[in-house]
Amino acid sequence: MTALVSSGFEKALRKSKTLAWTTRFCFGASLFLIVSGLWRWGAAEVRGHLDQVFWLSLLGLVWLLVFSRLFSWLGLSIADDIIERRNPAALAGLGGAIIALALIYVGGSLGEGPSYWNNIFSAGLGTFGFFLLWFLFELFGRISASIAEERDLASGIRLCGCLLAEGLIIGRAVAGDWHSESATVHDFLQDGWPAAALCFFATGVEGLARPNRKSPVRPRFSYGLGPAFVYIAIATAWIYHLGRWEGMPS
């Protein structure tokens, strides 16, 4: 009996460590995304300059660490749901959220401008819009309950796809040369409105795809990867439609 308890504890511990390291990998991949974006497409005084890329990437890492603490306000927590409760569905959803924040930070740092504070304003505007849409998605879709309580992996994958798509659209919407605060807000609304449409579309999908009494565990491919692919495809199509952002280096 003691051996069985010990074996179960060891398996749980290994699973907890695996999820913890996978979460760290998501942060590492996001940091790599930030570094690569700044090095290749940052402003003229940033791209190709190791010191400038280093400091802006360090700020990006702090950005991720600070704003990832707000995930718990939306029903999911890295510490509670991933590390403590060892929930793979939460890892899928919040992994997408971490990378989405990186996409928005990179987008806000692309284009020419007189000050780094312009980058912070653009990234801050995009991050605010991201959390606002996630709040509305959670308010009407209640996807956190499917992930945290039902531990439904398909729901976690759907959330991942939705948040990645939002990050792609919003990141592109805040990219480009700086003109003024009002112009940045105008471009954000003009180029980023499909993020809101996608949010409401995803909310409708949740009404059909969330677990229920007849089907407490949804198939991860048809109810998870399928919708996630559609969300990301919509975002990719919109970015392709917008084309190059203002100030994009050739």
- In this predicted model, what pLDDT tens digit does every residue of 16-45 receive, in sequence order? 688 889 999 999 999 999 999 999 998 888
Separation CA 162–CA 228 (nearest Å): 6
Stated as kind and residue range, the H or E segment containing 192 is helix 181-209
Mean pLDDT of 222-235: 96
Residue 167 confidence (pLDDT) above 80:
yes
Q: What is the pLDDT of residues 182-203, one digit of tens each?
A: 999 999 999 999 999 999 999 9
In the predicted model, is pLDDT for residue 10 greater than 50? no
| CA atoms of 149 and 172, how far apart (whole Å) | 34
Residue 8 has pLDDT above 50, yes or no: no
**What is the model's pLDDT at position 15?**
64
- Report the C-alpha gap between 38 and 72 in whole angstroms: 29
C-alpha pair distances (Å), 233 with each of 48, 194, 197: 31, 12, 14
The proportion of the chain whose per-residue pLDDT surpasses 90, expressed as a percent, equals 78
Listed by start position, the domains of the chain span 10-242
Give bridge partners of residue 110 from the DSSP assignment. Answer: 42
pLDDT bin (cut points 50, 70, 90) of residue 3 is: very low
Is residue 131 within 8 Å of 195, Cβ to Cβ?
no
Rounded to two decimals, the pTM is 0.92
Neighbours of 7 (CB within 10 A): 10
pLDDT reported for residue 7? 46
Q: Cα–Cα distance between 142 and 101 in angstroms, integer?
A: 21
Residue 87, φ and ψ in degrees, nearest 5: -105, 105
Which pLDDT does position 13 carry in this prediction?
45
pLDDT value at position 11? 53
Looking at residue 116, its pLDDT comes to 85
Residue 159 pLDDT > 60, yes or no? Answer: yes
pLDDT at 145 over 90: yes
Q: Which residue has the higher pLDDT, 195 or 9?
A: 195
The confidence band for 249, taking pLDDT boundaries of 50, 70 and 90, is confident
Average pLDDT of the segment spanning 132-146: 96
